[in-house]
Chain A
């Protein structure tokens, strides 16, 4: 498996045609639903040996669900998975691993405290004749694997946590190589890499191609996709909407496939009544996350924040909400300079942040709906520290019913609700604090169409009442359908601010990805 010592430096033939060759992996008719959400519907995908297939789609298009099916985490409701011509089941993560399917995703496959060699060989380490682990052989084999990949600079004895993210990726690939994986899935591998590291990763992918692996490459960045991939498959709303060879397809065509949408969701019609500036941010900076952020939010306005995943939008919003600290810059709310040091501070001042990570940061599972809603407003619903349940129920009812929450009762554990309904509880919770500014981070991520409509309708209502909204979203239709103005961020900086008049999706995608207009 490690025949060529320096294959990464070999210039390969131009990508061969996929047609005519047998795919290594084919998916057909795959469907997967979660309560209230149809994540995948009848999708197909083919991966060819020695070729890189880019999987392209917006957030919520079903990419991560597909990856989880391929790696044995989720079981599809319907459909067939074929590996090398034979239908297979992938009931567990380990089963997928044994079929030679590996995902390069450091958090789920690597061990920070163990050495590089061990990360590569855990579970299939070379043994001595006494059945003990043969560290010597393991180290030298790890060395071989790393050298073959062009990663000679990584010492097999280093603890993984002492490596940078780029090198961790290399180790993950090394692990895939060591089990002779035939299908390698790379889910946003370049998200936190520098330009130089990305180049190194590409050399590595070239090496995998040369070795006959089938690579599934998931990225939002078009320059990368065109640089490394041979084929593309586009997902939209859980369906496969197009596939083909990249050399025959322009970026514009792919953007159209991504954003073109059936008329299943109509955004609320509204007349914007925009007033004076409410929130003014200037020069806001953080040592590693964002730099020199400045913008204005006006009364009754929905300000969209668009960018690729990892552009630093959530980080900026969390800083404004007092959750993380900034190194420089000022926040002015209604003419008064504020410096919130905690979420409690900012809520008191009238700025609330509705987080993206619903399960981790939003709902308190294990507590009933009404207690979730009243949590940030306890000061108002209680009297000298004593709870007043009637007030809490009234508050919870007021907001959850406006959001059309579907629940049997307000005393139900919030964990028993579907994702969409949990999101309504989360939004209700922060709205109930009667804020002046509400920041919604990916407010409709992973929720069903019905809940989406309820959330959008409600946002329109809020601004009509004079509230100001910042909406961070990676979904183009949402950005275009809801925003009055759109701020675009890339790599921790604001790169453009557009009035949402005649703004088109392609412009936004290009600015966010840094593609120069043709």
Chain B
């Protein structure tokens, strides 16, 4: 019994049914729908990021020529081999990776909470990672190969605490944010406590670390962070797909029969791990996780937070921020966290004044 071939509906012309604003890319059997504007934004962001990186390598106490900087970056002999290749390049790579991690982390957690305010640096996750890391430092763990993993433990613990205490027959976003802010304050005090307890020298190192700084970071930190990110890449790819389902509100999701609980948990866990590992390397670089996804979403004008754009934006913020932090008051360096907070805090205020993301959405379940 074979179905007559003619009974099949005619195959749709390629591109006929695609939604507005999308382009169809096909390569052999695989085909993708690509949001045109997102693709364009991604391209522009990548270009900007490349420009920022070049500027990062060239500018500073000693200025290198662009050509020399590029040669040095690729390990070719150059006059600026030491300054660019040994001092600036590893630090820049760490900055890039930290920005990427914070950008994706913020994007994931904000998606699940459907609230821009639920970013890891507002609700205590970064602070938890900091507190535990500083604690470990004062007890003699100073290797940057180990610290990021300690931070992950701290971030997860903080997230779990906030979650448990905010849970009361359901998760109300307003309560979640309030309790998160409370924990953030307490955990910051705990960090202070460790700072006053620890050895003098370590305390000084930890003090700089607590504002979020890339100063003195090298290939060791870059490797730790890079390998972690690479290991998490499959999870991030999964998240990029899963994100779409999670954005549905509870009722729709239930009606469609997709269980969201596990997906949400997975996305949040991934976000927490990413934010914590970045915190472990560079300290809590405030507000990158808040800003990057929001900027990315406004640029692409999509309903979803575009993760790739968020990652690029995060990297751009950190690299450009650190460039400013190094050169603004040269020869004195500011921690990059000071600059990102100076930009991020007013943005948070603006969000509150707008009264949109805060009020309308906190009615829903996080």
- Note whether A and B form a binding pair: no
